[in-house]
Amino acid sequence: MPLLEVRDLHVEFHTRDGVAKAVNGVSYSVDAGETLAVLGESGSGKSVTAQAIMGILDIPPGKITGGEILFQGRDLLKLKEDERRKVRGAEMAMIFQDALSSLNPVLSVGDQLGEMFVVHRGMSKKDAKAKAVELMDRVRIPAAKERVGQYPHQFSGGMRQRIMIAMAMALEPALIIADEPTTALDVTVQAQVMDLLAELQQEFHMGLILITHDLGVVADVADKIAVMYAGRIVEHAPVHDIYKAPAHPYTRGLLDSIPRLDQKGEELYAIKGLPPNLMAIPPGCAFNPRCPRAQDICRTDEPPLFRVTEDGARRSACHFWRETLRDA
Amino acid sequence: MGRYVIRRLIQMAPVFIGSTFLIFMMVFALGDPVAALFGDKAPDPATAARIREELYLDQPLWKQYLHYMGQIFQGDFGTAFNGQPVTELMAAAYPVTLRLTMVAIFIELVVGITLGVLSGLKRGHFIDSSVLVLTLVVISIPTFVSGYVLQYLFGVKWDVIRPTVSVDAPLNELILPGIVLALVSLAYVTRLTRTSIAENVRADYLRTAVAKGLPRRRIITRHLLRNSLIPVVTFIGTDIGSLMGGAIVTETIFNIHGVGYQIYQGILRNNAPTVVGFVTILVIVFLIANLLVDLLYAVLDPRIRYA
Ligand SMILES: Nc1ncnc2c1ncn2[C@@H]1O[C@H](COP(=O)(O)OP(=O)(O)O)[C@@H](O)[C@H]1O
Ligand code: SF4
Ligand SMILES: [Mg+2]
């Protein structure tokens, strides 16, 4: 049994302008100690899927219209809010993109870290503060003891993200969801923060869902990759297979748009066109208006997630996955 | 912090001098105080000249101002039209107005924040729309209208309170005037709270609080309110000064012998020491209230404290 298994998840947003179908049948799973990277352009439903797993969707306007989220065998969507709350933070935790805005500006970092122990473990404030210092040490924030009473704005961007990581790690959850944890950081500290996250994940044998739109970050850390487009998974594969040979034209496009050292000076490739309007997703394959390979069938028949390998570890939602793979 | 306070106090000096000098000039423009002393009778020119000299009235305006300020700082605010020292009037009037202001502030705090939080949390719901309409109505009615109407309804028609306040102005008689005084700011506090709550509800840090698995109560009190109320509390702080000065209409309606009443009398009777004295103290109160608000802001928001 995987640690987390999302099955056929559907999420809609009901807004004044209409219904945005943000997640349309996403399935993925993560084992303990495993890292799943979720890739895709912005707006493809990566964060919404994560929010549905954490139970922090904005409802309304959001609405889960179908699917299951099995965590350690329990369907989280069937839990009462109070039981769900006890899972959040304690058994699964989330790291957000922008640590500055994601931390409370008027509470000290020690308070915000310690709060985890006060609320979930019933610790006294004093013990919780000691725990906070311990956590800050663990994520290698220098002079933790002196800085525990400081406020988020007094830390650098990299240090703030370490505090977010510490907060997520606080109760040693089984699963961590990191939603673009390094996107808001300086390039120089991105690698350090990523390394720290990977290291802690190994140490505690946690499942990690790493959301990013940066394929470059993924190669060293992830075990498998799910590529999302318009609220669906279009390709799913072990990490090395995808880099060697993508089985979906969209993945191909993403790979080609990574800047490479040997390409200096040349213009960077970009997938032409824009992601679809989620209130009017094109019929057939959602990618067809932008796909260099599109045929008539792509405009009428929605491709299922075909098995590329026998065991189903590798899948592609493309009518022409064979050709795509062959030409790679 | 100490250095900050000292810097702010120094910054206050020009504001204090400027505003008091302005008042001094305007009161001077009101008319001849010596003539006013004699009422309808024309004063004997020799006596008038003597009084003028005694009161420094034959000196240029800036000298008069300096002389007056010098006296004020020795605790001498001059004599009111009825022969009483102005300080005595102040000792009687300021506590009354202060009490009235406190009643108004209390109502603003309790009612305004409660309504604001409720409508901010329930945006678009019935309660939110009702509060919105209510505040709109309240904002558009001038104080003298709401004052007279409420006075008539409660004091005359239903006879549940005394329509006017007795001289020593006990707290229970100040409740209705306090409400009238609070009304306009109350609507403003409600809206400010609503906007602030609605903004912070969508903030990333609040999503974090939810993701941490905190109970709803704790999320609202410790995270949401703590942040949302910073602008509200500081607004109410600055409002203390404006309420005290602005109480004049309310005090007139309910015949409260407070600051507004005394200034009004001072103007009517052309008595410069009363007007300038009372306004000077008001300016000081206003400046101190503002300083306290800035300090309070720093206490509430560490981003300012450790800027
Ligand atoms: N709070 C919200 N209200 C309305 N629509 C939303 C909301 N959150 C997300 N969406 C919709 O879901 C889509 C997918 O969002 P998201 O999952 O955040 O994309 P990403 O893959 O960049 O993380 C958005 O383009 C938007 O249309
Ligand atoms: S199904 Fe057709 S349109 Fe979609 S990715 Fe494959 S080739 Fe392109
Ligand atoms: Mg996102």
Domain with residue B126: its CATH number is 1.10.3720.10
**Residue B227's pLDDT is what?**
92
Residue, of B227 and A188, whose pLDDT is higher:
B227
Residue A57 pLDDT > 90:
yes
Instruction: Give the domain extent around B49.
Output: 19-72
Instruction: Assess contact for A299 and A283: CB atoms under 8 A.
Output: yes
CB contact under 8 A, A85 and B223: no
**Per mean pLDDT, which range of A107-116, A249-258, B38-47 is the poorest?**
B38-47
Residue B192 pLDDT > 80:
yes
Residue B105 pLDDT > 80:
yes
Same-domain check for residues B158 and B42: no
Residue B86 lies in a domain: no
Q: Which chain A residue shows the shortest CA-CA distance from B223?
A: A104
> Which residue, judged by its Cα, is nearest atom 7 of ligand 1?
A13
pLDDT tens digits, residue range B254-307? Answer: 888 989 888 888 888 888 888 888 988 888 888 888 888 888 888 888 887 776
| Cβ-based contacts of B124 with chain A (< 8 Å) | none
**Residue A265's pLDDT is what?**
61
Nearest neighbour of A89 by CB, restricted to B212, B230, B306: B212
Q: Which chain A residue shows the shortest CA-CA distance from B302?
A: A106
CB contact under 8 A, B214 and A115: yes
d(CA A253, CA A235): 12
Residues contacting residue B237 through CB under 8 Å, at least 6 positions apart: B289, B290, B292, B293, B296
Residue B6 lies in a domain: no
Residue A310 pLDDT > 90:
no
**pLDDT tier at B243 (50, 70, 90 boundaries)?**
confident
Instruction: Assess contact for A107 and A149: CB atoms under 8 A.
Output: no
> Which residue, judged by its Cα, is nearest atom 1 of ligand 2?
A318
Same-domain check for residues B40 and B148: no
Question: φ and ψ at A205, to 5 degrees?
Answer: 55, 50
Express as a percent the part of chain B with pLDDT over 90. Answer: 23
The single-letter DSSP state of residue A77 is: G
**Residue B34's pLDDT is what?**
67
What ipTM was reported for this prediction?
Answer: 0.91
Same-domain check for residues B55 and B121: no
Question: φ and ψ at B296, to 5 degrees?
Answer: -60, -40
Report which residue type is found at A34. Answer: E
**Residue B36's pLDDT is what?**
62
**Residue A107's pLDDT is what?**
94
As given in the structure block, the two tokens for residue A235 are 């390709």
As given in the structure block, the two tokens for residue B302 are 């560490």
CA B89 to chain centre: 18
Same-domain check for residues B65 and B99: no
What is the number of domains present in chain B? Answer: 2
pLDDT tens digits, residue range A216-275? Answer: 778 888 999 999 999 999 999 998 888 888 999 999 998 888 776 666 666 667 788 888
**pLDDT tier at A72 (50, 70, 90 boundaries)?**
very high
Same-domain check for residues B60 and B98: no
Nearest neighbour of A106 by CB, restricted to B207, B213, B226: B226
Residue, of A54 and B184, whose pLDDT is higher:
A54
**pLDDT tier at B103 (50, 70, 90 boundaries)?**
very high
**Per mean pLDDT, which range of A64-73, A252-261, B17-26 is the poorest?**
A252-261
Residue B56 lies in a domain: yes
pLDDT tens digits, residue range B108-142? Answer: 999 999 999 999 998 888 999 999 998 888 888 88
pLDDT tens digits, residue range A26-36? Answer: 999 999 999 99
Ligand 2 binding pocket, CB closer than 6 Å:
A 248-249, 285, 287-288, 291, 293-294, 298, 303, 318-320
Residue, of A267 and A103, whose pLDDT is higher:
A103
B201-208: long-range contacts at Cβ-Cβ below 8 A with a sequence spacing of 24 or more?
B201/B120, B201/B121, B203/A101, B203/B227, B204/A96, B204/A98, B204/A101, B204/A102, B205/A101, B205/A102, B205/A103, B205/A104, B205/A105, B207/A56, B207/A96, B207/A102, B208/A96, B208/A102, B208/A103, B208/A104, B208/A167
CA B217 to chain centre: 35
As given in the structure block, the two tokens for residue B94 are 């300021």
State mean pLDDT over B58-79: 82
**Whole-prediction pTM:** 0.83
- In chain A the first and final C-alpha atoms are separated, in Å, by 34
Which residues, numbered 225 to 244 in chain B, qualify as contacts with chain A under a Cβ-Cβ cut-off of 8 Å? 226-227, 230
pLDDT tens digits, residue range A151-207? Answer: 999 999 999 999 999 999 999 999 999 999 988 888 888 888 888 999 999 999 999
Residue A110 pLDDT > 70:
yes
Instruction: Give the three-class secondary structure for A173.
Output: coil
Same-domain check for residues B67 and B117: no
Same-domain check for residues B110 and B148: yes
Residue B5 lies in a domain: no
**Residue A260's pLDDT is what?**
67
| Cβ-based contacts of B214 with chain A (< 8 Å) | 85, 89, 115, 119
Same-domain check for residues B258 and B151: yes
**Per mean pLDDT, which range of A6-10, A96-100, A197-201, B51-55 is the poorest?**
B51-55
Residues contacting residue B215 through CB under 8 Å, at least 6 positions apart: A85, A119
CB contact under 8 A, B213 and A98: no
Residue B279 lies in a domain: yes
**Residue B173's pLDDT is what?**
83
Same-domain check for residues B174 and B236: yes
**Residue A211's pLDDT is what?**
94
Residue B66 lies in a domain: yes
Q: Mean pLDDT of all residues in chain B?
A: 85
**Residue A45's pLDDT is what?**
94
Nearest neighbour of A104 by CB, restricted to B210, B215, B223: B223
> Which residue, judged by its Cα, is nearest atom 3 of ligand 2?
A288
Nearest neighbour of A105 by CB, restricted to B212, B218, B303: B303
Please tell me the total number of residues recorded for chain A in this structure. Answer: 328
| Cβ-based contacts of B209 with chain A (< 8 Å) | 104
Same-domain check for residues B129 and B47: no
As given in the structure block, the two tokens for residue A275 are 């992601």
Cis amide linkage into residue B177, ω under 30° from 0: no
* H helix runs in chain A, sequence order: 46-54, 81-87, 99-102, 109-121, 125-138, 144-147, 157-169, 187-204, 215-221, 239-244, 249-256, 296-300, 321-327
Which residues, numbered 167 to 226 in chain B, qualify as contacts with chain A under a Cβ-Cβ cut-off of 8 Å? 203-205, 207-215, 218, 222-223, 226
CB contact under 8 A, A119 and B215: yes
Same-domain check for residues B100 and B68: no
Residue B118 lies in a domain: yes
Question: φ and ψ at A24, to 5 degrees?
Answer: -125, 70
Residue A68 pLDDT > 90:
yes
Instruction: Assess contact for B77 and B86: CB atoms under 8 A.
Output: yes
Residue B233 pLDDT > 90:
no
Same-domain check for residues B157 and B269: yes
Residue B32 lies in a domain: yes
Establish, for the pair of chains A and B, how many residue pairs have beta carbons separated by less than 8 Å.
76
